[in-house]
Structure 1
Amino acid sequence: MINKYWITAIVLLGLFFTPFFADAHVKWFTNEEPVKESIENIITPFFMFMTIFTAFVLAILPQIVPKMMKWDIVQKIDNKMDDYRKYNMSILRYGTAIVLIIQVLSGSLFAPELHQQPNWFPVLAWIAIILLFVPNFLATKTAAVILLGMFSIVVYDFGIFHMLDYAFYLPIFIIFLIAGTNYEKWSFPFLYLATGLSLCWVAVEKLVYPSMTIDIIVNHNVPTFGFPPEIFIVMAAFIEFIVGYLLVVGILNRLLAIVLTGIFMSTTMLFGALELVGHAMIHIILVLFIIEGTSFYRPPVKIHKTVIEQMIFVFLNFIFVLATILLIYYRFA
């Protein structure tokens, strides 16, 4: 039987060995031309080992997490965070406004690399910002319509597969639209899903375009902890993909949000202001995830009753999701 000290040790070791480069957006920090790696060089023996090993570890998590949730300290944190849920909409509204201000002043909206945008975008952005600061549902919904329209134009200009990196913006605008309606209960499930998908999509980028990532490692002196860059890239990609996958399935959400916050702070120290601008919206989302947890969510794994069924489901589901996203990215991105 695994006691709580072993569980704590496993979690802490996982956090300690998490490469803080994992969540960096590759395209922000390199001028290297994207060269797609051959599928034979992506699906290597090490890639297969990481896939099987990761699927096995994830299959164990649904059996460990319920025991962790019974710890006194975890229950105290849960109860404390529950008290702050009433502020979620205010945090999201004002946080989005502040992020938009930072982006407008930096010369780009939604993402640092999206510079070729209409000249009237900043005007609409300032209108949306002002409306978001007005504590009124109608003003918030009007801002959401403006931002949703702007985001749709960006998706049209840069392509849906490029903008999947920033899929988390879509549920934010929809949350503003459905606030105060009967559909409000779907807000956070949609946000978790889109954020998790975004992280998975960005993770696969490191596998398909490894030369860009290697260029960043060399030019920014990114520590690889003794691993060859080619191996380190695969490990970093898997860690980022795991985080996204776990957010989607609703496991360890608060812990993951805290871990990601620490990782993004580390990458900010490494990459500077560009990293801060690019990930500012993610920081707001992570604050919400820390507060919200998964109170609304019944993980899909609970469909299966026995431990063996749950482990098999998670094991096979992870492999299926990884293969699907990798192949879609390789074909279309």
Structure 2
Amino acid sequence: MALPIEGQNMFAVRHRSRGRFSLVTGLAIWQAIQATSVQAHVKWFAPYIVGAPPAPVSLTLSNEWFWLGIGFVVVFFAVARAFERSRFGDPTLDLVDKMTAPLWNRLDDYLRAIIAAFFVAIFAVGGVYLTPDLKTPAEWVSWLQLVIAAMIFSRMTMPAAGLGIVALWIMALRDYDLFHLLDYLTLGLGVAAYLVLEPSKQENWRVHRLEALRWGLAIALMWSSLEKFAYPGWFYPLVVEKPFLTFGLPRDVFIPMAGVTEFTLGLGLVWTPLIRRLSALALLVIFTAAVWPFGRVDLIGHGLIMAVLLAVAADQSRTTHFLPKFKTKLRHIPAGIAFAFLLYGSAYWGLHLALYGPDAYIGPATTEKATHSHSREYPHGPQQRDVGTPSAID
């Protein structure tokens, strides 16, 4: 039986809406697949030398796979933004709001519990500053992180917990290079800012607590993604040990495209509302998928990031605070992505040059400079043993 005209129109509208949303979702899933294999923090699982000279920028700019990745990203941003500003955009955001309302209504309780749980997990691991990568023999550091976790449960002591996070990062400077610690600076500052702002009675300040957390995570992801262009060799051991991670693609094809994906999804966290939420969901899929091949260390290290991404996906704010007029226009998307790469790339290569000079360390990884030890069976795993002590594998 034929539908009435009104029914046909309604069916057509729903069909177009589902089709456009499916295209947006499909592009987000493609982005997630492209970055999954190397989303695990390479410094936790493979040898590295922070002072080694990075690959020249010209190698990235002449890489066709880098530009192919950029092309896919521009399409993803453009389609998502076009859908967002169409008549289907607001209903879609309303639907996502309804689905995430239980989390949104208790978001601060959720974030406080997650942050506290993260510091309890770091305490349980023991012998690290803030992350599995930053090892320390000082036992008091672990106990300080347990104290930070305890302080989060009272709004009176939450600001002190935030300051404690900053203090731990500063203390780590005694043992690690500044350039290395920049990987963890903005996320730490974002979490610290949240803990300071959340109990504030000044609502004009408190309202920015989630934005500070989101920006801290976005900058951290964009910064760390540049390792895939500056030091692609760091990722080669992981590809050799776990070849399934590249989905059959050659490593020199996969790594630059994964770097583009990670960088731009990080940038997406500070774009317009729909792009923010799609980027957060795609990144959440990526980090969750990385837990299976990389195990408990990856889950502990990235657990806080995954929790914040879920909070970003549940964020019902429809406001874009930074450069809102620029971000809402489709024609500005390529320029925005290009400027972000220029800004962060200049900072990354420029700071490395300023800190280490043109005569940076060149040579094989040594026990003193590498974080992880090795064996023939697990050459790049998180297991540690003294280099001079034979293992059962040897």
* Structure 2 CA distance for aligned equivalents of residues 253 and 27 of structure 1: 27
The question of 1:102 aligning with 2:124 is answered no
Moved over 6 A (4+): none
1:223 alignment counterpart: 245
Aligned residue pair count: 326
1:289 positional shift: 1.3
The question of 1:139 aligning with 2:161 is answered no
* Structure 2 CA distance for aligned equivalents of residues 154 and 271 of structure 1: 25
2:207 alignment counterpart: 185
Letter in 2 for 1:170: L
Counterpart among 164, 188, 209 of residue 182 in structure 2: 164
* Structure 1 CA distance for aligned equivalents of residues 189 and 46 of structure 2: 27
1:330 positional shift: 2.0
Task: Please report the TM-score for the alignment, with normalisation by the length of structure 2.
Answer: 0.74
Secondary structure at the counterpart of residue 137 of structure 1: coil
* Structure 2 CA distance for aligned equivalents of residues 125 and 24 of structure 1: 23
The structure with the larger Rg is 2
1:57-68 pair list within 5 angstroms: 57-67=76-86, 68=88
Letter in 1 for 2:172: V
Q: Taking every aligned residue pair, what percent have the same amino acid on both sides?
A: 20
1:332 positional shift: 2.3
2:170 alignment counterpart: 152
1:59 positional shift: 4.0
Q: Unaligned regions of 5+ residues in structure 1, if any?
A: none
The question of 1:15 aligning with 2:6 is answered no
Letter in 1 for 2:112: R
1:10 positional shift: 4.4
Contact 2:118/2:303 (CA < 8 Å) preserved in 1?
A: yes
Q: 1:235 to 1:304 in 2, by over 3 A?
A: closer
Letter in 1 for 2:280: A
1:85 alignment counterpart: 104
1:25 alignment counterpart: 41
* Structure 2 CA distance for aligned equivalents of residues 302 and 77 of structure 1: 24
* Structure 2 CA distance for aligned equivalents of residues 257 and 177 of structure 1: 24
1:296 positional shift: 4.5
2:59 alignment counterpart: 41
The question of 1:315 aligning with 2:324 is answered no
Secondary structure at the counterpart of residue 294 of structure 1: coil
Letter in 2 for 1:123: W
Q: 1:137 to 1:250 in 2, by over 3 A?
A: same
Counterpart among 246, 249, 260 of residue 283 in structure 2: 260
Q: 1:16 to 1:314 in 2, by over 3 A?
A: closer
* Structure 2 CA distance for aligned equivalents of residues 78 and 86 of structure 1: 11
**1:140-195 deviations in Å (ceiling 9; x for gaps):** 22322323322332356534442332221212112211223321111122111111
Between 1 and 2, higher relative CO (CA 8 Å, sep ≥ 6) is seen in 1
* Structure 1 CA distance for aligned equivalents of residues 28 and 151 of structure 2: 42
1:106 positional shift: 1.2
Contact 1:204/1:237 (CA < 8 Å) preserved in 2?
A: yes
Counterpart among 255, 271, 293 of residue 233 in structure 1: 255
1:115 alignment counterpart: 135
1:204 alignment counterpart: 226
* Structure 2 CA distance for aligned equivalents of residues 57 and 95 of structure 1: 31
Letter in 2 for 1:99: F
**1:188-222 deviations in Å (ceiling 9; x for gaps):** 22111111111111111111000011221111224
| Structure 1 or 2: more helix by fraction | 1
Contact 1:200/1:241 (CA < 8 Å) preserved in 2?
A: yes
Contact 1:246/1:253 (CA < 8 Å) preserved in 2?
A: yes
**1:43-92 deviations in Å (ceiling 9; x for gaps):** 214134433553454345322223353346x4233134345434222212
Contact 1:253/1:293 (CA < 8 Å) preserved in 2?
A: no
* Structure 2 CA distance for aligned equivalents of residues 296 and 156 of structure 1: 41
RMSD: 2.7
Q: 1:88 to 1:159 in 2, by over 3 A?
A: farther
